[in-house]
Amino acid sequence: MHVSYHPDYVIPLPEGHAFPMRKYPILRERLLAEGLLFEDELHVPGEVEWDTVALAHDASYLDKLRDGTLSEAEQRRIGMPWSPALVRRARLAVQGTIDAALAALDSPERIAANLAGGTHHALPDAGEGYCTLNDVAIATRWLQREGFVSRVLVCDLDVHHGNGTAQIFAGDERVFTFSMHGAKNFPMKKPPSSLDVPLADGVGDAEYLALLAEHLPQAIARAEPELVFFLGGVDVVAGDRFGRLALTEGGLAARDSLVIETVAGMAIPLCLVLSGGYARTAERTAELHASAHREARRWLRARGFR
């Protein structure tokens, strides 16, 4: 299974910053240690071309990002201070998602992953909520332009609504956006996805899994996708600092398994990306992100892959 990873997914942040930047290398190490990832499956992405980024973002925003002329307010909206490293990190993560999507389309496993990405709050003209560039949106537009796919399903199970992705693909019949998210959670303004399933605070395993089992097959039927992106945010788990839901670790595994079995079971290529997770420690966050890989590997091993 192709897994995109770059050491420069990690950048320094100001002391005490809420974003668990260390989760990326910890996840990589953990997957290797658990036998859920092999060194020869790791692929190092380059920085995505600006022309490619422009398939999903406005030139005025990209100019400011490239030149370091974002206002204080625009940087606060991203939630991370501008630096050349921040821009490089975002471009690496976008290319990591493109590479993983291509691998999902090309490889016999039909599943691939980026150990970053899922930055779904990035809007056409602004970064927001720790999201600088919308990797899944850019990847989708690039794959369409290059003729690799036409129809795509974005299955966004991060606890936060996929506002950027919804806005970028509004009115686009070829890209189906499916978001299950906390109704009262960030972002306050939620442009409609193709299918939104808003959840009350405190929703637990049984209700969550029943809603997913009901809506995911509908989303696939309506999308008729040639590729599925799965944003497997782990901020749905109880105790998450920003999540407000109450899934258990077992519930998370059941969620990931349900998505993988449903999509891969229909032989639709599947690209896994991280999105959010804000457990008490970066170690715990990484441990939860390992769930999707554990379930993907279980599915593949049952079919004779390593």
Interface residues with Zn ion (CB under 5 A) are: 158, 160, 233, 235, 276
At closest approach, how far in Å is the CB of 242 from Zn ion? 7
At closest approach, how far in Å is the CB of 80 from Zn ion? 15
At closest approach, how far in Å is the CB of 276 from Zn ion? 3
At closest approach, how far in Å is the CB of 159 from Zn ion? 5
- Considering the complex, state which of residue 219 and residue 245 has its C-beta at the smaller distance from Zn ion: 245
Query: Cβ-closest residue to Zn ion?
Result: 276
- Considering the complex, state which of residue 1 and residue 236 has its C-beta at the smaller distance from Zn ion: 236
- Considering the complex, state which of residue 80 and residue 268 has its C-beta at the smaller distance from Zn ion: 80
Which residue, among 86, 85, 89, has the nearest Cα to 75 in the 3D structure? 86
- Considering the complex, state which of residue 161 and residue 297 has its C-beta at the smaller distance from Zn ion: 161
What span, in angstroms and rounded, lies between the C-alpha atoms of 297 and 281? 25
At closest approach, how far in Å is the CB of 233 from Zn ion? 5
- Considering the complex, state which of residue 225 and residue 276 has its C-beta at the smaller distance from Zn ion: 276
What span, in angstroms and rounded, lies between the C-alpha atoms of 76 and 204? 32
What span, in angstroms and rounded, lies between the C-alpha atoms of 283 and 95? 25
